[in-house]
Amino acid sequence: MRFIEILGRIITKGHVKKLKQELSYADIKEEPFRFIGINFLICLFLALISAFYLIIFYDLFYALAGSMFLVVMYDIFLSSFISLLAGQRAKYAESVLPDALLLMASNLRSGVPPEEALVLSARPEFGFLSERIKDAGKKLATGATIQEALLFLPQNINSSLLRRTIELIVEGINSGGEISTLLESTAYDIRDTESIRKEVRSMIFVYALFIFIAACLIAPVLYAVSIQLAGVLSKLSQAISVQFLVEKSPTVKLVPTGISQEFVTNFAYANLIITTSFGALIVALINRGDEKYGIRYIPFFLGLALLLFFIARLALNAFFGGIRVV
């Protein structure tokens, strides 16, 4: 598919350094120009389909606006997906890093050469980090220094914790510190820091729970009540205006309320989507320290909110459906 790669080069004009780094963080093996070309064709296809549909049922303005909106949403989704994959890899590397460092320190204390100590520390349970450790051991065996081998580990992993940890270890080695002691003390410091983070997250869990209840449980019920109230007030205002026009004064006009039940329903749908989406992002920011993990919560939050919204509307219609305005 040479055409797709050429298309990607034309679109980006060869400037894909940042994208290449992001793809490596997310462990996406696709060549950057080809990746851009494929997603450009997908965006073009989505824009044409949406424009064709909207121009049939609406007009040219809605077709252009809908196509642009769909392309922007796809771009946001793609960027968020890549960032989420990179974040998951970084979190996994951070979770297994203390065990890997302790294993390296144990191998060094047992008298194993540094290059062999690194290779022996590459356990399968460390996942992709074990491959990085093996490659670092191979670099060390082929003549690289221990500092260069360690600095190879955080490459292509978007983890500030991993990067700072390796830099501190390398700085300690340059200052004359013992490698095994540095690895061991750093691993224990990381574990202590993670335990403190868990305690903090447990303390602020109540805030995340409050946001979840407000966005997914309370808001749908309140919107359902608002829709029912709007319908009753609309019928009541129409009845009052007609009665006033007939019985009181034909010269004075009493106009019915312009807020219809359909308008409030559309308003409720839009606000539920916005509220649950931002609520999911805020909950992820509180629990995980990074809002991009909330992307995975959005379908659950939105599905639960819409389900309760429909249930509440059915219950209110059944309860107040018999009320008639006379």
Structure confidence by residue, pLDDT tens digits, 142-167: 888 888 888 888 888 888 888 888 88
What is the pLDDT, as a whole number, of residue 308?
Answer: 92
- Mean pLDDT, to the nearest integer, of 183-197? 85
Domain boundaries, the chain: 2-88, 92-200, 204-320
What is the pLDDT, as a whole number, of residue 255?
Answer: 53
- Mean pLDDT, to the nearest integer, of 192-212? 83
- Mean pLDDT, to the nearest integer, of 2-10? 61
CA–CA separation, 65 and 52 (whole Å): 12
**Beta carbons of 269 and 227 less than 8 angstroms apart:** no
Structure confidence by residue, pLDDT tens digits, 30-44: 787 788 888 888 888
* 247 pLDDT above the threshold of 60: no
What is the pLDDT, as a whole number, of residue 15?
Answer: 61
Structure confidence by residue, pLDDT tens digits, 274-312: 999 888 888 888 877 777 778 888 889 999 999 999 998
Structure confidence by residue, pLDDT tens digits, 78-137: 888 888 888 888 888 888 888 888 888 888 888 888 778 888 888 888 888 888 888 888
- The fold adopted by the segment(s) 92-200 is Receptor-associated Protein (1.20.81)
- Mean pLDDT, to the nearest integer, of 208-224? 88
CA–CA separation, 110 and 102 (whole Å): 12
CA–CA separation, 171 and 16 (whole Å): 32
Mean pLDDT, the chain, whole residue set: 79
**Beta carbons of 293 and 89 less than 8 angstroms apart:** no
Question: Of 189 and 320, which is predicted with more confidence?
Answer: 189
* 171 pLDDT above the threshold of 80: yes
What is the pLDDT, as a whole number, of residue 307?
Answer: 92
- Mean pLDDT, to the nearest integer, of 263-272? 85
Instruction: Dig out the tokens for 251 from the structure.
Output: 């010269």
The pTM of the full predicted model, rounded to 2 decimals, is: 0.71
Question: Of 214 and 239, which is predicted with more confidence?
Answer: 214
- Kindly indicate the confidence band of residue 197, based on its pLDDT and cuts at 50, 70 and 90: confident
What is the pLDDT, as a whole number, of residue 3?
Answer: 60
**Beta carbons of 201 and 290 less than 8 angstroms apart:** no
* 199 pLDDT above the threshold of 60: yes
